[in-house]
């Protein structure tokens, strides 16, 4: 027996401009914060773009989008998640006029997608703030960013109002608490950044996000605009009541962002956190009203769950992408130490749906692994990625369970449907795709694309609307 998914379920894959487009300085694009971040979130920031930064070329989607979209269409994608590189449209972020060549590029991409009946799902800001906004304004700590973002949003909403229906505002908005430079373009080093400035920056993003929803619905009432959070559910490490409370608090740290987006106001529990950390949010007149523009749906990424403990001795970090927590003794981990927990996906889907009763969208999930390119008996280059197939199958079975539980789910896009550069470590060898890209961390490789075994597997899952999954 397979798994039942609703009719019209949006199956697809997900990417981000800075991780796969390349062409970092072509056709008028300005630098983004990623262009001087060659080693990911734990590495240095360089003065200028350096050759060891794999993102500068990425996988060259900028020049190969037709070939890649054709492959997505062959798998039967209904939706493709990509982001617009803000600095392609406004090279410095604070420019008066948008860059026509940048706008044209996304016109071409959207047209190509529609040629195959694939709906674009567009992230407006995915870890790629224009560098000039980081350097000259300290990123989102500065309220002026709201105005710059508004200009950007108006430009793309007006231009693509008939080509894009599904939008996400900020990728993993809650990740700014852990990676303020990458997530919020904040130039002040994390160690020197006060909680006051950090939460004020988050306030600016939350206002900008709600304003985006307002503007979007004015420009095209058919738009479906969602928020996007990094979804890591927290389990109490033991049944000790203090561990349960700790898990609740850790969940709130993340869910705060979805709470504001879904309910249109700050939750009361934040008052205590702000008080205890001497944070006073500067709310300008009109902010509270703007926040009332709630999102149409909630989207999230899911790679792992985490454990919470009140015991400071055990509170040593396990590995994780941006948020890391205490390891769960019942779970195995990926080669990068991310704990694999398919049931956690069912759990978080139910948690979010119980909390908001808004449609949900899983916009990232997948396994980053080292793949070995081989030549099969027919002479084709491929990868036998059964580990990826198993991972995705097990997660999708749990998604089916959540749908049975009553969760309203719009779609599912696997992360890095084509191999791309990792966000946390900036590596190419951490591969997620159904499509192998011949490019390596030393810069070698032909950039040729090859179908992995999971390519046909996912094609079948989509064609059968989940019936082919193995429970
Ligand atoms: C999320 C980001 C993505 C993506 C993914 C996988 O946090 O939204 O951009 O990269 O994680 O992480 P990584 O690339 O570090 O393996």
**For 415-470, what is each residue's pLDDT tens digit?**
999 999 999 999 999 999 999 999 999 999 999 999 999 999 999 999 999 999 99
Residue with tokens 């789910």: 409
Of the residues 172, 284, 313, 404, only one is catalytic, namely 172
* CA separation for the pair 333, 318 (Å, rounded): 10
C-alpha separations of 297 from 176, 312, 321, 403, 466 in Å: 21, 37, 24, 16, 22
Ligand 1, residues 34, 415, 427, 431: which to mutate, most atoms within 8 A of Cβ? 415
**pLDDT score of 323 more than 70:** no
Of the residues 112, 119, 128, 364, only one is catalytic, namely 364
C-alpha separations of 327 from 292, 307, 345 in Å: 37, 6, 17
**pLDDT score of 319 more than 60:** no
Does residue 172 carry a catalytic annotation? Answer: yes
Three-class SS state of 385: coil
Ligand 1, residues 121, 422, 433: which to mutate, most atoms within 8 A of Cβ? 422
pLDDT value at position 318? 57
For the segment 282-304, the average pLDDT, to the nearest whole number, is 98
pLDDT digit string (tens) for 181-223?
Answer: 999 999 999 999 999 999 999 999 999 999 999 999 999 999 9
Give the residue whose CA is nearest to atom 11 of ligand 1: 423
Three-class SS state of 428: coil
Beta strand ranges found along 20-92 (DSSP E):
79-83
Tell me the percentage of the chain whose pLDDT exceeds 70.
98
Q: Kindly report the CA angle at 121 between 86 and 232, in degrees rounded to 5? A: 90
Residue with tokens 């990458």: 182
* CA separation for the pair 198, 206 (Å, rounded): 12
Does residue 401 carry a catalytic annotation? Answer: no
For the segment 47-64, the average pLDDT, to the nearest whole number, is 98
**φ/ψ bin of 50: left (φ > 0), alpha (ψ from -120 to 50), beta (otherwise):** beta
* pLDDT greater at residue 319 or residue 142: 142
Contacts of residue 171, Cβ cutoff 8 Å, sequence gap at least 6: 16, 83, 123, 125, 126, 127, 183, 228
pLDDT digit string (tens) for 84-131?
Answer: 999 999 999 999 999 999 999 999 999 999 999 999 999 999 999 999
pLDDT digit string (tens) for 378-394?
Answer: 999 999 999 999 999 99
Three-class SS state of 36: helix
Pocket of ligand 1 (CB under 6 A): 16, 19, 171-172, 230, 301, 321-322, 364, 368, 415, 422-425, 430
Residues 419, 433 contacting (CB under 8 angstroms): yes
State the CB neighbour count (10 A cutoff) for residue 366.
24
For the segment 264-285, the average pLDDT, to the nearest whole number, is 97
Residues 79, 25 contacting (CB under 8 angstroms): no
Residues 299, 362 contacting (CB under 8 angstroms): yes
Closest ligand 1 atom to residue 421 Cα is: 14
């Amino acid at each position: 027996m397979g798994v039942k998914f609703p009719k019209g379920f949006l199956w697809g894959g997900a990417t981000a401009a800075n991780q796969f487009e390349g062409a970092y300085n072509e056709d008028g694009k300005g630098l983004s914060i990623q262009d001087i971040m060659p080693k990911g979130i734990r590495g240095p920031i360089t003065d200028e773009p350096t050759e060891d930064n794999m993102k500068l070329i990425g996988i060259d989607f900028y020049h190969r989008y037709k070939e890649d979209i054709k492959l997505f269409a062959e798998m039967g994608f209904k939706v493709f998640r990509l982001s617009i590189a803000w600095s392609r449209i406004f090279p410095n972020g604070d420019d008066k006029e948008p860059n026509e060549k940048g706008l044209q590029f996304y016109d071409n991409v959207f047209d190509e997608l529609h040629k195959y009946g694939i709906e674009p799902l567009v992230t407006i800001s995915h870890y790629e703030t224009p560098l000039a906004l980081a350097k000259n304004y300290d990123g989102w700590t500065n309220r002026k960013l709201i105005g710059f973002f508004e200009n950007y949003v108006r430009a793309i909403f007006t231009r693509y109002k008939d080509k894009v229906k599904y939008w996400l505002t900020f990728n993993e908005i809650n990740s700014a608490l852990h990676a303020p430079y990458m997530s919020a373009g904040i130039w002040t080093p994390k160690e020197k950044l006060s909680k006051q400035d950090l939460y004020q920056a988050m306030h600016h993003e939350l206002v900008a996000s709600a304003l985006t929803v307002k503007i979007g619905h004015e420009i095209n009432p058919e738009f479906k605009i969602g928020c996007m959070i990094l979804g890591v559910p927290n389990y109490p490490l033991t049944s000790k009541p203090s561990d349960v409370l700790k898990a609740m608090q850790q969940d709130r740290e993340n869910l705060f962002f979805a709470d504001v987006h879904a309910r249109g106001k700050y939750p009361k529990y934040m008052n205590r956190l702000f008080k205890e950390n001497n944070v006073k949010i500067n709310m300008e007149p009109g902010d509270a009203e703007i926040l009332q523009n709630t999102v149409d749906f909630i989207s999230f990424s899911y790679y792992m769950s985490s454990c919470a403990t009140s015991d400071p001795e055990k509170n040593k970090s396990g590995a994780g992408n941006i948020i890391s927590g205490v390891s769960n003794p019942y779970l195995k981990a990926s080669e990068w130490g991310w704990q694999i927990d398919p049931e956690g996906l069912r759990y978080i889907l139910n948690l979010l749906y119980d909390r908001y009763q808004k449609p949900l969208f899983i916009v990232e999930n997948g396994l980053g692994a080292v793949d070995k390119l081989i030549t099969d008996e027919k002479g084709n280059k491929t990868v036998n990625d059964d580990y990826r197939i198993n991972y995705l199958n097990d997660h999708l079975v749990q998604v089916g369970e959540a749908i049975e539980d009553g969760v309203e789910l719009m779609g599912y896009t696997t992360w890095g449907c084509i191999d791309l550069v990792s966000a946390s470590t900036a590596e190419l060898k951490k591969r997620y795709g159904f499509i192998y890209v011949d490019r390596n961390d030393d810069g070698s490789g032909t950039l040729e694309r090859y179908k992995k075994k999971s390519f046909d597997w996912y094609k079948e899952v989509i064609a059968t609307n989940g019936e082919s999954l193995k429970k």
